[in-house]
C-alpha cells in the first residue's frame, strides 16, 4: 500500500499539461546562395577578384551589421560563391539585407582598401517569395555605371521535418481501481544527453479496461528522439484518477529505430513496475504494450508551398465609420498629420510591407466600409478606396496609402460597422481558387464595436473552409471584446451550431504595441510580428485539410563554369 502511495506522489510530479515541442525547435533556417553576373572590371591586366559581404539590420536598430563574407574568387566577372549564408527566417518580420561586392586587391581585411563593385538591398522575404525562391536584381551604388546583376537563391534547411504516426494497445494491465478495472493512459518521454527525460506525448485515457486500444497519434520525430534514432524513449503507463493522483502501473523503454520496425515481436513490450518486482518474488510484469502500426511522413512547410509557387494575395479593408472622428480634427483616428502617419496608415504599412513580398504583381485590392459615398450619399460596406468599382487594385503599399488619403477627402464617415460584406467579398475570390496555388489574407483595420456580429460569425465560419486568413487590427481606445471572440484562440468560433473548420482570425489592439517613446518604426515592427505570426500555420492547416502538396520546384539554376577559388 505504501508503495502505491509513493507511486502516486511520483506520478503527479511527472504527468502534467505540457507542450511537447514548445521552445525546443529553432527558427526555420534558410541557406542563401549568391552568384553575380557581368561585374565591373577594376583590374588592368586581369578581371576582378570579387568577394561578397552580407549585412543585416535589426528591427529595433537600423544600424547595418556585417553578417559574413564569402571567399574571394580570382579573375572573374561571373562568380558563383561557394560559401553560403545561413539565416533564421521569420515570415512575420521584415528582415532587411544588404549585399556589397568588392574587388579584392590585397590580403587586408579592411574593405576600405579594396575596390567597391556595387551593392543591392532586399528583404529575406523578397528572396523567399520570388519564383522558385530565386531573386535576380541589378547591382547599384556607383553613379553612372552598370554594375551587373546579383542572383540570390534561398533553400530551407531540412531540420528533420518527419512526423511519425503510431498506435498502441495493451494487454492484461494491472487492476488499480476498487470498483472497476483501470483507466489507463500512456506518457512518452525522450531521453536527454545528460540522462534525464523530457515528456513528449500523453495519450488519451481509456476508461474501465485492462486491454486498452489507444487512438493513433502523430508526433514530430525531432520531439521523439531529437534526430538520434538509437536514443532511448521511455513509456510509462498510468491508471487515471479524477483528483490527478494517477497510479503508476509500469514502464518500458524502446527507441525510434525499434519503433520503425513496425508491428512485430520486438515491439511487444513488458510493462514493469520496478518496486513491485523487488517486493514480489513471483512478479513477472504488469501487462504488455504492443505497437499496432507505425509510419513516417515528411511534413510540408510554409516555405515548401511558397517555393512551389503559392501566391499570397493581400486585401485591406478600412473602417470609415463616424466613431473614428472628423478626419480634419487632430483627435480623429483618421487625422492626416503632415508630420507622422496615423494608426490606420501605420498598421497598413507594417502588415503590407511584409506580405507584398509574397505577391508577384504587387497589386492589392483596397476597400472601405461604413461611409456615405458621393454623389448620392448612399452608405456602402465594401467600396474601393480608389473609386474604381471595376478595378479596386492599388499599385503597391504606396498606392494603397494614396487611395486611403484620397478617400478621406471624398467620402463622409458614417456607419454602422459591418464586417460581413468585406469578409464575403474576399471569400468569393478564395472560393474560386482552392487548388493551393493562391492564399488570401484580409486585413481589417477598425476602431471598435461591430454591428453585424451574427452575420460576421457566419461569414468567418464559411470562410474557414477556404484558402484565406483574416487579420483584425483594432485602433483607438475602444473595448474590443467582440474582436477577441472572433479571434477564436480560446473558444473556436461557431455560427448556427456549426463550428469553424479552422481558426483563421487573428486580432490585436494596436495600442498594446505602441512604443512609449513615440518610436513608430518600433511600434510597427512589434505589431506586425504578432499579427502575421499565425499566417504560415493557417496556410499549412488549409493545405493539409485538403491534402494539397506543394508543387515541385522548377529546375534549379545552373551556374556557369567556375574559375579557381581563393580560400583566403
Q: What is the CATH number of the domain that holds 446?
A: 3.40.50.410
Side-chain half-sphere of 207: how many Cα atoms within 13 Å?
Answer: 2
**Do both 12 and 34 map to the same domain?**
no
**Do both 227 and 340 map to the same domain?**
no
**Do both 483 and 521 map to the same domain?**
yes
CA–CA distance from 228 to each of 251, 303, 385 (Å)? 21, 25, 56
Which contacts qualify for 540-549: CB closer than 8 Å, 24 or more apart?
Answer: 540/300, 540/301, 540/302, 540/305, 541/502, 542/439, 542/466, 542/467, 542/502, 543/300, 543/305, 543/436, 545/501, 545/502, 546/434, 546/436, 548/435, 548/436, 549/300
Rounded distance between C-alpha atoms, residue 292 and residue 289, angstroms: 9
DSSP bridge pairs for 234: 189, 253
**Do both 148 and 136 map to the same domain?**
yes
Comparing C-alpha atoms, which of 209, 279, 269, 277 is closest to residue 234?
A: 269
The residues, any chain, with a CB within 8 Å of residue 87's CB and separated by 6 or more, are: 29, 30, 32, 56, 67, 95, 124
Decide if 306 is inside a domain.
Answer: no
pLDDT of residue 324: 95
Identify whether the C-beta of residue 467 lies closer than 8 Å to the C-beta of residue 433: yes
Q: Which three cell numbers stand for residue 399?
A: 498606392
Which tens digit of pLDDT belongs to each residue from 320-374? 999 999 999 999 999 988 888 999 999 999 899 899 999 888 999 999 999 999 9
Decide if 75 is inside a domain.
Answer: yes
**Do both 141 and 189 map to the same domain?**
no
pLDDT of residue 568: 34
Decide if 209 is inside a domain.
Answer: yes
**Do both 487 and 366 map to the same domain?**
yes
Rounded distance between C-alpha atoms, residue 10 and residue 4, angstroms: 10
Decide if 560 is inside a domain.
Answer: no
Q: Which domain holds residue 274?
A: 2-24+161-298
pLDDT of residue 46: 82
Collect the ranges in the chain with pLDDT lower than 70: 1-27, 59-61, 158-160, 177-178, 194, 490, 553-568
User: Which of 267, 298, 329 is the last residue before a domain boundary?
Assistant: 298
pLDDT of residue 556: 52
The label of the residue with cell 544588404 reads: 98
**Do both 249 and 194 map to the same domain?**
yes
Decide if 181 is inside a domain.
Answer: yes
- Give all strands of the β-sheet with 149-156 in edge-to-edge order: 85-89, 28-37, 149-156, 134-138
pLDDT of residue 515: 78
CATH number of the domain that 241 lies in?
2.60.40.150
The label of the residue with cell 503599399 reads: 397
**Do both 461 and 403 map to the same domain?**
yes
**Do both 364 and 479 map to the same domain?**
yes
Decide if 364 is inside a domain.
Answer: yes
pLDDT of residue 262: 93
Report the SS3 class of residue 18: coil
**Do both 154 and 169 map to the same domain?**
no
pLDDT of residue 242: 81
Rounded distance between C-alpha atoms, residue 14 and residue 395, angstroms: 56
**Do both 364 and 254 map to the same domain?**
no
Q: Which three cell numbers stand for residue 407?
A: 478617400
DSSP bridge pairs for 189: 199, 234
pLDDT of residue 253: 97
User: Which of 115, 141, 158 is the last residue before a domain boundary?
Assistant: 158
Decide if 567 is inside a domain.
Answer: no
pLDDT of residue 21: 37
Helix (H) or strand (E) holding 281, with range, is: none
Rounded distance between C-alpha atoms, residue 163 and residue 220, angstroms: 4
Rounded distance between C-alpha atoms, residue 523 and residue 69, angstroms: 32
Structurally, the chain folds into a number of domains equal to: 3
Helix (H) or strand (E) holding 83, with range, is: none
Q: Quickly count: other Cβ atoms within 10 Å of residue 178's Cβ.
A: 5
pLDDT of residue 9: 33
User: Which of 250, 276, 298 is the last residue before a domain boundary?
Assistant: 298
Decide if 132 is inside a domain.
Answer: yes
Q: Is the pTM of this model over 0.85?
A: no
Q: Quickly count: other Cβ atoms within 10 Å of residue 331's Cβ.
A: 8
Helix (H) or strand (E) holding 23, with range, is: none
**Do both 123 and 174 map to the same domain?**
no
Amino acid at each position: 500500500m505504501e508503495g502505491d502511495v509513493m507511486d502516486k506522489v511520483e506520478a503527479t510530479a511527472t504527468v502534467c499539461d505540457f507542450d511537447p515541442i514548445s521552445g525546443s525547435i529553432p527558427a526555420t533556417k534558410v541557406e542563401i546562395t549568391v552568384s553575380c553576373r557581368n561585374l565591373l572590371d577594376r583590374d588592368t591586366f586581369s578581371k576582378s577578384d570579387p568577394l561578397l559581404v552580407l549585412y543585416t539590420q535589426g528591427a529595433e536598430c537600423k544600424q547595418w551589421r556585417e553578417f559574413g563574407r564569402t571567399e574571394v574568387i580570382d579573375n572573374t566577372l561571373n562568380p558563383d560563391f561557394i560559401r553560403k549564408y545561413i539565416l533564421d527566417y521569420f515570415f512575420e518580420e521584415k528582415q532587411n539585407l544588404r549585399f556589397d561586392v568588392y574587388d579584392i586587391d590585397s590580403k587586408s581585411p579592411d574593405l576600405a582598401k579594396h575596390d567597391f563593385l556595387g551593392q543591392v538591398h532586399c528583404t529575406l522575404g523578397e528572396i523567399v517569395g520570388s519564383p522558385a525562391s530565386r531573386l535576380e536584381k541589378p547591382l547599384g551604388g556607383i553613379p553612372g555605371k552598370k554594375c551587373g546583376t546579383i542572383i540570390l537563391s534561398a533553400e530551407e534547411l531540412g531540420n528533420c521535418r518527419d512526423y511519425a504516426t503510431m498506435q498502441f494497445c495493451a494487454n492484461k494491465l494491472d487492476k488499480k481501481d476498487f470498483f472497476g478495472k483501470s483507466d489507463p493512459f500512456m506518457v512518452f518521454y525522450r531521453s536527454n544527453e545528460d540522462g534525464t527525460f523530457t515528456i513528449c506525448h500523453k495519450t488519451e485515457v481509456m476508461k474501465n479496461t485492462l486491454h486498452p486500444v489507444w487512438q493513433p497519434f502523430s508526433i514530430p520525430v525531432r520531439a521523439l528522439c531529437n534526430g538520434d534514432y538509437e536514443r532511448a524513449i521511455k513509456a510509462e503507463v498510468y491508471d487515471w484518477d479524477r483528483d490527478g493522483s494517477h497510479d503508476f502501473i509500469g514502464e518500458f523503454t524502446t527507441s525510434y529505430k525499434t519503433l520503425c520496425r513496425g508491428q512485430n515481436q520486438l515491439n511487444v513490450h513488458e510493462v514493469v513496475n520496478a518496486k513491485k518486482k523487488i517486493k514480489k518474488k513471483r512478479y513477472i510484469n504488469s501487462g504488455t504494450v504492443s505497437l499496432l502500426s507505425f509510419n513516417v511522413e515528411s511534413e510540408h512547410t510554409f516555405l515548401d508551398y511558397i517555393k512551389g509557387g503559392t501566391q499570397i494575395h493581400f486585401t485591406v479593408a478600412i473602417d470609415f465609420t463616424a466613431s473614428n472622428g472628423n478626419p480634419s480634427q487632430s483627435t480623429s483616428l483618421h487625422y492626416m498629420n503632415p508630420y507622422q502617419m496615423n494608426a490606420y496608415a501605420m498598421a497598413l504599412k507594417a502588415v503590407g510591407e511584409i506580405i507584398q513580398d509574397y505577391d508577384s504583381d504587387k497589386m492589392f485590392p483596397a476597400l472601405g466600409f461604413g461611409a456615405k459615398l458621393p454623389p448620392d450619399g448612399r452608405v456602402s460596406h465594401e467600396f474601393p478606396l480608389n473609386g474604381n468599382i471595376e478595378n479596386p487594385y492599388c499599385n503597391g503599399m504606396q498606392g494603397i496609402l494614396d487611395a486611403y488619403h484620397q478617400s478621406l477627402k471624398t467620402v463622409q464617415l458614417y456607419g454602422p460597422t459591418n464586417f460581413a460584406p468585406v469578409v464575403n467579398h474576399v471569400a468569393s475570390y478564395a472560393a474560386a481558387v482552392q487548388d493551393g496555388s493562391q492564399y488570401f489574407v484580409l486585413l481589417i483595420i477598425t476602431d471598435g464595436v461591430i454591428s453585424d456580429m451574427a452575420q460576421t460569425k457566419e461569414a468567418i465560419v464559411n470562410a474557414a473552409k477556404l484558402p484565406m486568413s483574416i487579420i483584425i487590427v483594432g485602433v483607438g481606445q475602444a473595448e474590443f471584446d467582440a474582436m477577441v471572440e472572433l479571434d477564436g484562440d480560446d473558444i473556436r468560433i461557431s455560427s448556427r451550431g456549426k463550428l469553424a473548420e479552422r481558426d483563421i482570425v487573428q486580432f490585436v489592439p494596436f495600442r498594446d504595441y505602441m512604443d512609449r517613446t513615440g518610436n513608430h518604426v518600433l511600434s510597427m515592427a512589434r505589431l506586425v510580428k504578432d499579427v502575421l505570426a499565425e499566417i504560415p500555420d493557417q496556410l499549412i492547416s488549409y493545405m493539409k485539410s485538403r491534402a494539397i502538396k506543394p508543387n515541385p520546384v522548377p529546375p534549379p539554376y545552373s551556374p556557369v563554369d567556375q574559375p579557381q577559388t581563393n580560400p583566403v
